[in-house]
Structure 1
């Protein structure tokens, strides 16, 4: 499964703040990309909030790396203070839904795994109808 990182960057010049809103998947493979966006945003001298509450998928290992690296972002003087980075987390870590099962050709029975995924994970009641083989 491909995990795509989607980040919306909002900058407020009046309050000298920025928000990085993650809406895609944050996994170890793309965490360095988010950190690079964070580094560039921090060079503006703004207080930065990383909002993960709308993320589609958060991997615990990527989150640990993000928290560790966010503390190491160089801080620039800002009105006598320094740039700060804070992270907003969801109540629980979201995960990507399982991939959809590809449609079978008519008359070909489903395997056990495909039937389970369709019937229980995707709640497709068509799978529960009796199978009538073609003659």
Structure 2
């Protein structure tokens, strides 16, 4: 499987939110490429006192590894360089593509 990812940044015209739409594969190996995009998206917020919401939407990703998401969350939560930047919300598919629901029996 080709573990590539693609990201599209959407910015609200009022500057209230920035959304990073991710497709492709979010894995342990590919998540380091996603993190710099999150840092850039966080920096797009205007330098005002209003906190801008940043959402990383993985609901359209074809392949999501739990360990990749965990590493991404850790990196975002421990980034001291973003100081007063607002929180980052990570949206996941209802069922992670690499972990299909177990069937009873």
TM normalised by structure 1 equals 0.61
Runs of 4+ aligned structure 1 residues displaced above 4 Å come to: none
Does residue 83 in structure 1 map to residue 89 in structure 2? no
1:13–1:72: structure 2 CA closer, same or farther, 3 Å change rule? Answer: farther
Q: Partner residue of 1:41?
A: 41
Q: CA deviation at 1:75?
A: 4.1
Choose between structure 1 and 2: higher strand proportion: 2
Corresponding residue pairs, total: 90
Q: Where do 5+ consecutive residues of structure 1 fail to align?
A: 77-81, 96-135
Q: Partner residue of 2:30?
A: 30
Does residue 51 in structure 1 map to residue 54 in structure 2? no
Distance of 1:66 and 1:25 partners within structure 2: 13
1:13–1:71: structure 2 CA closer, same or farther, 3 Å change rule? Answer: farther
Q: Partner residue of 1:12?
A: 12
**Cα RMSD over matched residues?**
1.5
Correspondent of 1:60 among 52, 55, 66: 66
Structure scoring higher RCO (CA < 8 A, sep ≥ 6) equals: 2
